Structure 1
Amino acid sequence: MPRTKLQEIVYAVLMTFFMVLAMEFYNTGLRMGGMTNEGFFMAFSEMRIMVPVCFVMGYFFMDRIAPKIAFKMVTPGEDKEIFCIIVRAAVTVCLMCPVMSFWATLIFKQPGVQFLAVWLETIVINFPMALCWQIFFCGPLVRFLFRTIFKGQIEKQAAESQG
């Protein structure tokens, strides 16, 4: 997918925005006992904090580790592309969910001496949503937007690699 530094940054920003958006809506709805109009405003407010945290954690740390782990399980070019995409997405969620749950627990939940228990509970609650959202919705949406934004560059890169 991304081949240049600009493309990497744009892809990371898109992925961060849509993952944090969904997870904030989800967690706000859980805290409030259901989603309300007020919950949307609360979620957007929390995004101001979580988007930068998620971007830094993802772009500078997990995006360096995830491909190394994922591509020990699948081999791009040999395995079907969809398997490579799913494994990469799953590994990323496996890394990011505990990290982002850590920050959410620390920032929003005020767990005190129960930090470990609350953090583990947060991971368990967030993981199924994060995995399903990533594989079925966010990943395809971000790849579509990315291809749309960089259509000319992607076609040019493809032509150069074939020629």
Structure 2
Amino acid sequence: MPKTKAQKILFSVLMSFVMVYGMEVYNSAILHRGLTNALFLLPMGEVLILMAVVMGLETFIGGPLARRLAFGLIDPSKDRPIAVILAIQIMTVCIMCPIMSLVATIAFKGGLDPQAAAIWVQTVAINFPMALCWQLFIAGPLVRRIVGYSLSPHTNKKML
């Protein structure tokens, strides 16, 4: 887990990039009715803007609320570090997926038209399973590996 301000910033930037990029490729594949090699480059135009949105929303809303909810389920001083990480990851997706689906609904799917609520609910339903799997199995482990976080709460040594 990030300990210093610099680690938190690096972790946030990398996690935002991996999540935004993965979800943008996923949504592009849905929009184009299948994944092609070209779709891996398509989201690059929107990634930086969406990263800034994700980082701001996660910093001020998603992160604090996710930790509060996670720590209502588990005790970080008593539970295993992996349980703490998984609880935070799951709660973060539970909060950020609906928020970012609302952003996508407004920005990319017709704005605030009369069908916006239905479009938002559908967007959450389509994105949530992928966001959760992407976070738990790809983004979380990848970013922790890149940054070198150990699962031990008592050490900040790099993972092997």
Q: Structure 2-normalised TM-score?
A: 0.88
Structure 1 position 114, deviation (Å): 0.5
Identity level (%): 42
Structure 1 position 64, deviation (Å): 1.6
Structure 1 position 108, deviation (Å): 0.7
Structure 1 position 46, deviation (Å): 2.1
Misfit runs of 4+, over 2 Å: 36-42
Q: Structure 1-normalised TM-score?
A: 0.86
1:143 is matched by which residue type in structure 2? R
Counterpart residue number, 2:90: 90
Deviates more, 1:108-117 or 1:119-128: 108-117
Structure 1 position 50, deviation (Å): 1.1
Counterpart residue number, 1:76: 76
* Deviations, residues 105-126 of structure 1 (Å, cap 9, x unaligned): 1111115211000000000000
Unaligned stretches of 5+ in structure 1?
156-163
1:122 is matched by which residue type in structure 2? T
Alignment of 1:3-14 (within 5 A): 3-14=3-14
Unaligned stretches of 5+ in structure 2?
150-154
Q: More helix per residue: 1 or 2?
A: 1
Counterpart Cα distance in 2 of 1:17 and 1:29: 18
* Deviations, residues 19-61 of structure 1 (Å, cap 9, x unaligned): 0010000000000001224323321122132111111111222
Q: Which structure is richer in relative contact order (CA contacts within 8 A, separation 6 or more)? A: 2
Deviates more, 1:79-88 or 1:13-22: 79-88
Q: Is residue 138 from structure 1 mapped to residue 130 from structure 2 by the alignment?
A: no
2:45 is matched by which residue type in structure 1? S
Alignment of 1:1-163 (within 5 A): 1-110=1-110, 112-147=113-148, 154-155=156-157
